[in-house]
Amino acid sequence: MRFYRPTWAEIDLESLAHNYKQIKKLLKPKTKVMVTIKADAYGHGLIPVAKKLLRCKVDYFGVASIDEGIRLRKENIKVPILILGLILKKDIGPLFRYNLTPTVCDQDLALCLNRKAARLRKPIKVHIKIDTGMGRIGILSTNSENIVKKINSLEFIRIEGIFTHLAAADVNRKLTLQQLGVFNNLVLQLNKSGIEITLIHAANSIAVLNFKKSHFNLVRPGLVIYGLYPKKNLKIKLKSVLNLKTRIIYVKRVPAGYGISYGHDYVTRRGTNIVTLPIGYGDGYPRNLSNCAPILIRGKRFKISGRICMDQLMVDVGNTPVKIGEEAVLIGVQRGNKISAEELAELAKTIPYEIVCGLGGRIPRVYL
Ligand SMILES: *Cc1c(COP(=O)(O)O)cnc(C)c1O
C-alpha cells in the first residue's frame, strides 16, 4: 500500500495467531471459539484479521452489524457469522441473502424472520440473547423461558444458540457467578422442556481467562485475541498486535521560555530541540493525552509537549540530535522499550478497547 504521510499502524498477524493459540489452550478441546471482530476488528482491519483467523481454524465470527457481516461475505468468507447487535425488522433481507445469523431478543422480530423464512422456504438460524444483568439488549431472564419456547415453536426458526453477556467479570466475582447461575438455570429448564440448543455462550475475554464456568461450549473473546489485557496481572502471555508509528517530520532548536502548541500549555525551560510528529486527534489519537503520553524516539521515552493538534503533535527531545525521517513509536516497541495501548488508556482515562478502535481510517494499516 502506498501512502505519503509517514504515520501508520503495523498489524502483526503472527502475534494474532499466537494469541488465538494461547486462548485455545485454556479451553476444553470441544469448546468452540467465536472471535469478535466488530468495529473493524477493534481497529486492526476486518478482512486481514478475519482471513488470518480462518487459517487458525476459527469456528465463528461475531460482528456488531449486518454491514460488517456483508463485508466479510463479500470477501468470500464462509464460516458462520453472528450479528451480536440487534437489527430492525425492515433490514432482515440481507440476513437471508448473505447467510448471517441474527440475535433475537423478542417475539416480534422472530415472527418477522419466520414469515420471511417461510416465504423463502428456507429456515433461519438465530441466537437468542438473555439479559442476566447487563441491562442492554436481551430478554429479561425472568421472562425468558416462555418467550424462548414460543420462538422455538415457530416453524422456520432454528434456535442455534443462546447467550448472555457479563457486566463486570473483571471486577465483580459475585455478580458474575450470579449471572452465570441464572443463565445456566435457564438452559437447564429449557433442556427439561425438550429444547436442546446447540451453542451456549457467555464468555468475553476476561471471562475466558478467569471464569471456566462461563465457557459452556462456545466462547466469544475479542480483546485478548488482539493481545490486549482486560485487566492487570493476568498470567497469560499475549503479544500485542497493533503498533502505531510515525516519523519525525520536522525538528528545530527553540530558546528557553518558548511556548509550544495551542494555549502554550507547555513552555520550554531551556534551549531545546522540538520535534513535530504528523499525527493528531484527527487520527483518533486522544487529545487528552496532551502533555502526558510517552513517545519512543531512539528507543528512549519522551513526553508529548503541549496540546495535541488535529494532525500534528510536538515532543521536546532536549539535546538529542534527532533527524527528520527518524521513526517514533506511539504504541509498540522500539529498541526494547515499550508503550502499550493499556498504558495510554490509563493516561487517557479510558480502556484499551477505545484506544485501538478509535484509530481512524486515515491511518494506513500495514500487515506483517
Ligand atoms: C464485544 C463483545 C465481546 C468481546 O468482548 P471482549 O471483552 O473484547 O472479549 C463478547 N460478546 C459480546 C456480546 C460483545 O459485544
pLDDT digits (tens, 9 = 90+) for 159-178: 999 999 999 999 999 999 99
Query: Is 173 inside a domain boundary?
Result: yes
362 domain-assigned: no
pLDDT at 1: 76
What's the CATH number where 265 sits? 2.40.37.10
Q: Same structural domain for residues 177 and 114?
A: yes
Residue 360 lies in a domain: no
Pick the closest to residue 103 from 137, 71, 136 (CA basis). 137
Ligand 1 centroid from CA 63, angstroms:
9
Same domain, 195 and 277: no
- The answer on 290 and 207 residing in a single domain is no
Residue 262 appears among annotated catalytic residues: yes
Q: What is the count of structural domains for the chain? A: 2
Closest CA to 273 of 302, 241, 246: 302
Residue 333 pairs in a beta bridge with 338
Residue 133 lies in a domain: yes
Mutate to test the pocket of ligand 1, among 20, 84, 229 (most ligand atoms within 8 A of CB): 84
Which atom number of ligand 1 is nearest to the Cα of residue 224?
Answer: 9
Give the per-residue pLDDT at 125: 98
Instruction: Note whether 190 and 288 are same-domain residues.
Output: no
Q: Are residues 158 and 37 part of one domain? A: yes
Do 170 and 251 have their domain in common?
Answer: no
Do the domain assignments include residue 199?
A: yes
CATH classification of the domain holding 213: 3.20.20.10
Write down the pLDDT at residue 6.
Answer: 98
CA nearest ligand 1 atom 3, residue:
204
Write the pLDDT tens digit of every residue in 275-287.
999 999 999 999 9
Give the chain's length.
368
- Nearest CA residue ID for atom 6, ligand 1: 222
**How far is ligand 1, taken at its centre, from the CA of residue 52, in Å?**
19
Flag whether 112 is in a domain: yes
Q: Is residue 289 part of a domain?
A: yes
Ligand 1 centroid – CA 54 distance (Å): 19
Asked if residue 220 and residue 326 are part of one domain, the reply reads no
Q: 252 and 118 in one domain? A: no
Q: Are residues 143 and 257 in the same domain?
A: no
Domain containing residue 100: 13-226
**353 domain-assigned:** no
pLDDT of residue 20: 98
Is residue 17 domain-shared with residue 135, that is, in the same domain? yes
With a cut of 70, list the residues of the chain below it in pLDDT: none
Centre of ligand 1 from the C-alpha of residue 279, in Å: 29
Q: Cα(52)–Cα(20) distance, rounded to whole angstroms?
A: 10
73 and 18 share a domain? yes
Q: Which residues of 6-42 are buried (b: 16+ CB within 10 A; e: fewer)?
A: bbbbbbbbebbbbbbebbeeebeeebbbbbbbbbbbb
Is 226 known to be catalytic? no
**End-of-domain residue from the set 164, 191, 226:** 226
Name every protein residue with a CB atom under 6 angstroms from any ligand 1 atom.
36, 38, 84, 165, 204-205, 220-223, 230
Selecting among 38, 52, 129, 245, the annotated active-site residue is: 38
Q: Identify which of 61, 56, 103 has the alpha carbon closest to the alpha carbon of residue 78.
A: 61
Rounded to the nearest angstrom, the distance between the alpha carbon of 205 and the centre of ligand 1 is 7
Is the pTM value of this prediction over 0.85?
yes
Pair 133, 204 in one domain = yes
